[in-house]
Amino acid sequence: MSVYNNNKTAPPSFKFSYSGLTDTGHVRSRNEDSFACVPTQNLWVVADGMGGHESGDFASQTITTQAEKFIQQPALETSLLLLEENLLHSNKIIREKAEKLGKNMTIGSTVTCLYTWKNLAFFLWAGDSRAYRFRNHTLERLTEDHSYVEELVKMGKINSAEAESHPAANVVLNAIGIDNDIVIDMEYAEIEDDDLFILCSDGLYKDLAEAQISNIIDKNEASIEELNRNLISAALDVAGSDNCTVVLVKASLENKDD
């Protein structure tokens, strides 16, 4: 992968503030979500486990535990390859656990990752955990759900609003651990000063419309930690129908006052 041309202008560098929070919600008896914040390696991860009992916990925590072992490399391409291998290794561990539990046992976890390098943000994901960017008062989704209803939306059979309340809204078509061969999607975007990246499990956006999420962020004048608490509290106030996990990462130009 090549994302830079050979010009002599050095890309801007950024520093990041962040916050990670999770809540069981009002309906689930346990929290099968997990998150990892590894700022020293420029990596943030949200995972949403599935499988019932302790299996979903195991799947999501396997992903975040492995993510915490990631060490970025001097070359961007090598770091991205290592990140992908990290997720593939998590897939292997979860598949082995499922085999031990029985032939009919399927456990897994969705995942969304943010990795930053210089002035670029990379997103790796599988399933329907999402990454958003809030910039200039506008919320934009940067990932595409690997879900049944997302396919219906792309075929024009339902719209995005109908997808959230569809009876099959929880059916994911891709996740870490559900198959030996998995697909990990990746996109990247240039970072600008004051960009806010939002990684979340479906417990946030299924209870809060994107317009509501955007409005909460737009009105925030407190710390990033307080904003995160406000987002999760708003989802809980509406329904709290699922585990809800949010990781916020805010970019600020280094030496912008120089």
Q: What is the pLDDT of residue 4?
A: 37
Higher-pLDDT residue of 149, 96: 96
238/34 Cα distance (integer angstroms):
22
β-strand partners of 140: 133
Q: Where are the domains of the chain?
A: 14-252
pTM: 0.90
Where are the extended beta strands (E) located within the chain?
Answer: 14-23, 33-38, 43-50, 108-117, 120-126, 130-135, 138-141, 185-190, 196-200, 244-253
pLDDT at position 103: 67
Helices (H), 73-124: 76-101
Say yes or no: domain 14-252 is CATH 3.40.50.150.
no
Give the count of beta carbons closer than 10 Å to the beta carbon of residue 180. 8
* Cα 81 from Cα 244, distance rounded (Å): 29
Residue 5 has pLDDT above 70, yes or no: no
At position 135, the amino acid (one-letter code) is R
Work out the average pLDDT over 121-137.
97
Tokens 């955007």 — which residue?
214
